[in-house]
Amino acid sequence: MLPRRFTNLLLTYWLTSCCVFCFLSAAALSEDLEVWIGESKRTIHSQQRENQTLYPLEDFAEIVGLELLEIGDLLTVEGPRGKLQLVDGRPLVSFEAEYILLSAPAWKRDSNDWYVSEDFLTWALPLVINRRLDKVSEKRYRLQGLPENQVQVSVNNFPDHVRVVFQSSRNSPIRVREFETYIQIAFDELLVQPEFPAISPDRRLVSSVDFDSSNVYGTFHIHKGDLYYNFREFTLTDPDRKVIDVYGQPSMSDWRPDTQPASPERPTFGASTPFPQPNIGGETPAPSQQTLQTLITIDPGHGGKDFGVNSPQGIVEKSVTLRVAMRIEDLLTEMGHRGILTRTRDVQLAVEQRGSVGNHYSSQVYLSIHVGGSPSPETRGPVVYLHKYLEDEEPLVMDTNQEAASFFPRRLMAPLRLPVENKDELVSWDEGQEQYLGISRELAELLQGELNLLWGVENRVAEIPLAVLAPVTAPAVLIEMGFLTNAADHDKLSSREFQEQIAQAITSAVLAFLAKNPAE
């Protein structure tokens, strides 16, 4: 019995050792990298050096097609899009006068036998290759073949605007976004090969057009000049072209040709007075993107340190408002209008900044997006708020019209009201909304109706002195999309699908409002 038990024990010990060995070997092997090209797999074996895992650079060079040129301790790695330089024993890669810090120094074992850490593959290599390298999982990469897209940029200087046309050789999605100092034209799916024009743009409107290759596909930037006022975009097909017209400030009246109407107003976005139709190559643009008719400012409430309403489950107002506002902007753009967001990321803005964005762009509609909170958990549903000027019940003593002064609160008195027809008259900051209260109510009722329908409630529009709306010289409302303090509303507001529905409801109410009140 005893020898047999001893044998069993030995066998178990041996088996366990085998398992441990297999496990340790597998762990050691897992340091190897896998690069997938289509269905074929290439394995890059790791080397251990001073507790660092390094990989032979020659293997990378072979897979992605790089040329290695060694001069002493310096190695130049040349790819289709540029050169990288490495020095033996230093954790730095130089690329166009910039340095990328690696987690481990490059190591030269022998002549033409260099080793680099894994982050060389993630950070440095994509800069010089013309194919996309995606990290699929730990130690696994996929090399995507990226077809090239030749994008020809042309510039035309017109008397009142600069036209920049991007003509691409292949059809790829394009997204145009406006930033403070430039307009970004981002291409997707295909690797952009830019071809620049011989004509330079008028520097007063467009200081430069340049190409940024730091992202995977490539992005163009139209840098705004000193007299930049606004822009509009449209798409032409066959061949595919994206056209950006950059307009100058109204003061550039000397720019306007005699054939233009004599009125000194800036280019308007009104449906009744559309832009002169562009006519490049004789075609007219696709009807859906013909004109960007109207500017709508969307203000996602709170942001940065100001979280707004917090729910115990971790939903915060500032994130919900930003998400919905960005969707509204997208939906409006799809309908041929132009949305301006007061913030596009998680930053805190002063209340004055929020209002001034709407006024700066002379927007036709101003929406401030918020979420409600209440001490009573049963309060639910959407509420649309209008601005209300607090009335001073003590009459203002005036030398003339004293009788009227004793009857009417100060703000209702005719001499103090702003004449609507004379828009050039100076208006104090907080009184901007005063002449728009009536039309704001119309917008509010439409929005309240749409949102009530979505929630199945019968909430009513409310009037409150709101600092964000007070200065806005346009129909302006503040929307509280339900209450985060109510359980049912909380579930709704945290679902992406419902956020999409809210954005759609708000957009359709705004479109209905614009249909009834076309811009002047």
Partner 1 sequence: MKRQRSILSSGMDSLRKEHQTILIALGLVFLVIIIAYSFYAVERQHQEALREAEENRLDVEASALEAQSSGQLSVQLYFYQPGVMAPYPDLLISEKRSIFLTEDIILNARQIVHEVIKGPTVLEGLQIFSEAAKLRQVYLLEDGTALVDLSQEVIYPLIGGVAAELSALYSITRSLTENLEEIKRIRFLIEGQERATLAGHVSIREPFM
The reply to whether 485 sits near partner 1 by the rule CB under 8 A is yes
Any residues with CB less than 8 A from the CB of 321 and at least 6 apart, and which? 300, 301, 302, 308, 369, 370, 371
Spatial separation of the C-alpha atoms in residues 293 and 289, rounded to whole Å: 10
Spatial separation of the C-alpha atoms in residues 486 and 383, rounded to whole Å: 14
Question: For partner 1, which residue of 235, 435, 459, 517 counts as binding (CB under 8 A)?
Answer: 459
Query: Are the C-beta atoms of 440 and 477 separated by less than 8 Å?
Result: yes
Question: What's the min distance (Å) between Cβ of 385 and partner 1?
Answer: 6
* H or E element at residue 488: helix 487-494
Q: Which stretch binds partner 1 (CB under 8 A): 63-71, 167-175, 195-203, 467-475?
A: 467-475
Q: Which of 255, 298, 51 is nearest to 159 (CA)?
A: 255
Q: Which is nearer to partner 1, 462 or 487 (CB)?
A: 462
Can you list the positions of beta strands (E) in 72-160? 74-79, 82-87, 92-95, 98-101, 107-110, 113-116, 132-137, 140-144, 148-157
Looking only at the bridges linking them, the beta strands covering 174-178 and 182-187 are: antiparallel
Spatial separation of the C-alpha atoms in residues 85 and 72, rounded to whole Å: 12
**Residues 257-316 close enough to bind partner 1 by CB under 8 A:** 301-302, 306, 308-310
Q: Which is nearer to partner 1, 14 or 99 (CB)?
A: 14
**Residues 375-414 close enough to bind partner 1 by CB under 8 A:** 375-376, 378-379, 383, 385, 389-390, 392-394
Q: Which of 208, 184, 186 is nearest to 197 (CA)?
A: 208
Question: What's the min distance (Å) between Cβ of 473 and partner 1?
Answer: 16
Question: For partner 1, which residue of 7, 12, 17, 122 counts as binding (CB under 8 A)?
Answer: 17
The reply to whether 483 sits near partner 1 by the rule CB under 8 A is yes
Q: Which stretch binds partner 1 (CB under 8 A): 39-47, 182-190, 345-353, 488-496?
A: 345-353
Residues in the chain: 520
Question: For partner 1, which residue of 285, 372, 432, 475 counts as binding (CB under 8 A)?
Answer: 372
The reply to whether 415 sits near partner 1 by the rule CB under 8 A is no
Question: For partner 1, which residue of 6, 8, 19, 21 counts as binding (CB under 8 A)?
Answer: 21
Q: Which stretch binds partner 1 (CB under 8 A): 84-92, 226-234, 364-372, 509-517?
A: 364-372
Q: Cis bond leading into 465, ω under 30°?
A: no
Q: Which long-range contacts (CB under 8 A, 24 or more apart) does 311-315 make?
A: 311/484, 311/485, 311/490, 313/490, 313/494, 315/484, 315/490, 315/493, 315/494
Q: Which is nearer to partner 1, 52 or 253 (CB)?
A: 52
Q: Which stretch binds partner 1 (CB under 8 A): 63-71, 116-124, 438-446, 466-474?
A: 466-474
Question: What's the min distance (Å) between Cβ of 337 and partner 1?
Answer: 27
Q: Which is nearer to partner 1, 22 or 74 (CB)?
A: 22
Phi, psi of 339 (to 5 degrees): -100, 140
> Which tokens hold the place of 420?
């609507």
The reply to whether 183 sits near partner 1 by the rule CB under 8 A is no
Any residues with CB less than 8 A from the CB of 466 and at least 6 apart, and which? 368, 385, 387, 388, 478
Question: What's the min distance (Å) between Cβ of 313 and partner 1?
Answer: 15
Q: Which is nearer to partner 1, 67 or 352 (CB)?
A: 352
Per rule CB under 8 A, count of chain residues that contact partner 1: 52
* H or E element at residue 226: none
Q: Which stretch binds partner 1 (CB under 8 A): 137-145, 231-239, 450-458, 460-468?
A: 460-468
x/- letters, 58..97, toward partner 1 (CB under 8 A): ----------------------------------------
Q: Which of 377, 242, 234 is nearest to 292 (CA)?
A: 234
3-state SS class at 322: helix
The reply to whether 322 sits near partner 1 by the rule CB under 8 A is no
Spatial separation of the C-alpha atoms in residues 177 and 433, rounded to whole Å: 28
The reply to whether 24 sits near partner 1 by the rule CB under 8 A is yes
> Which tokens hold the place of 119?
């982050």
- The amino acid sitting at 283 is E
Q: Which is nearer to partner 1, 29 or 286 (CB)?
A: 29
Question: What's the min distance (Å) between Cβ of 113 and partner 1?
Answer: 21
Q: Which is nearer to partner 1, 278 or 382 (CB)?
A: 382
The reply to whether 369 sits near partner 1 by the rule CB under 8 A is no
Query: Are the C-beta atoms of 238 and 169 separated by less than 8 Å?
Result: no
Q: Which of 498, 500, 519 is nearest to 331 (CA)?
A: 500
The reply to whether 20 sits near partner 1 by the rule CB under 8 A is yes
Q: Which is nearer to partner 1, 230 or 485 (CB)?
A: 485
Question: For partner 1, which residue of 28, 74, 101, 453 counts as binding (CB under 8 A)?
Answer: 28
CB atoms closer than 10 angstroms to residue 189? 14
The reply to whether 8 sits near partner 1 by the rule CB under 8 A is no
- The amino acid sitting at 397 is V
Q: Which stretch binds partner 1 (CB under 8 A): 207-215, 287-295, 372-380, 509-517?
A: 372-380
- Which residues form the interface with partner 1 (CB under 8 A)? 13-14, 17, 20-21, 24-25, 27-28, 48, 51, 301-302, 306, 308-310, 317, 350-352, 370-376, 378-379, 383, 385, 389-390, 392-394, 430, 459-460, 462-468, 470, 478, 480, 483, 485
